Chain A
Amino acid sequence: MKICQVERPLVSTNRIPGFEHKHLLVVRDGSSRQVAVDSVGCIPGDWVICVGSSAAREAAGSKEFPSDLTIVGIIDRWPPESETGAIGPGEHG
């Protein structure tokens, strides 16, 4: 899975019906920009985890959902300040 940053929503009026009414977001991974299906409700600037291949379809709704990149989680804190130990709310809680 990849870590990407949400850039902005993607507006595509003329699109296949398979996406139903799911939000599409432009996400940036380093310098390359891609489009991901949003199933968690992100806002621009969020650091998120994106999944690909067949898992992307199921994460977006069903086995037949036409997605090859879906956002599955919003990272609480990224990039991590401390270099040691696990990264997560527990450590900074």
Chain B
Amino acid sequence: MEVRQVVGSLVCTQRIPGLAHVDLRLVQDPQGHQAVATDPVGARPGDWVFLVSGSAARYAMGNADILTDLTVGGVIDQWEPA
């Protein structure tokens, strides 16, 4: 599972029903690559989080009907980027 930092929330009013009303977070790795992850734990901007990707991301949401391929697995208590 990848480790990235939460940049902030993403507001996306017009979305497919498969995304229901889940929170979307913009996450970024030290090299600057950005991605959008669904967030069931409520990470705040600046938090370092680990991300579950692929089909496991749907199970990480607790409800496999959510159509995501990247989900926040948890907020890391302490992380210093390499």
Hey, which chain A residues are within 8 Å of B64, CB to CB? Answer: 64
Asked if residues B59 and A64 are in contact (CB atoms below 8 Å), the reply is yes
Interface of A is mostly: mixed
Contact with A along B39-75 (1 / 0, CB 8 A): 0111100000010111111011010100000011111
Asked if residues A35 and B75 are in contact (CB atoms below 8 Å), the reply is no
Hey, which chain B residues are within 8 Å of A57, CB to CB? Answer: 56, 59
Q: Given A12-B50, A36-B1, A54-B55, A18 and B78 touching (CB < 8 A)?
A: no
**Docked pose: A24 CA to B3 CA in angstroms:** 12
Number of A-B residue pairs with CB-CB distance less than 8 Å in the complex they form: 79
Q: Does B76 contact A (CB under 8 A)?
A: yes
21 contacts across the A-B interface (CB closer than 8 A): A11-B76, A12-B74, A12-B75, A12-B77, A13-B77, A16-B60, A16-B62, A16-B71, A19-B73, A24-B50, A31-B82, A33-B82, A34-B3, A35-B1, A35-B2, A35-B50, A35-B73, A65-B56, A66-B52, A66-B57, A68-B57
